[in-house]
Structure 1
Amino acid sequence: MHNLTLLSEAEKNRVELDKQAAYSVWQVKNGKKGYEVFVEVAGNIDDDDEREFFEQAVAKYKIKMGVA
């Protein structure tokens, strides 16, 4: 188990982006939102590296959750 409070701000932000990616894919899988949710969330991320991290996390969770 990890103590998330010990992470740097950048690492905490990546954890949050990963959670947002997982939740976005879950929403699409369960018909709560359409695929536009990925563009919407990514569009709210100013930093290019963070946006790329989010998009990679979305791809990871699409595979894990069986979302095409």
Structure 2
Amino acid sequence: MPDEKSPEPARQRIVRVPGSRRARLTPAPDTDPSPDVVTNPAREKRTVDDRGPNDARLRDDVPPHY
């Protein structure tokens, strides 16, 4: 058994970036390196009509420490 060499599994490699304090990793094998674009409907800009009944009061209230 010690004479047999098993092929090394594919792995990510560390790549040094010149002028940078951090290194980066190469993409993992069998993965898609392009980023997923996830849209969060809660973070979309709201219009004035989308405001709730308490929004005006919450914006006008001043905390007691001011």
Query: Larger strand proportion, structure 1 or 2?
Result: 2
By relative contact order (CA 8 Å, sep 6+), the higher-ranking structure is 1
Query: Larger helix proportion, structure 1 or 2?
Result: 1
Which has the greater radius of gyration? 2
- What is the TM-score normalised by the length of structure 1? 0.23
- What is the TM-score normalised by the length of structure 2? 0.23
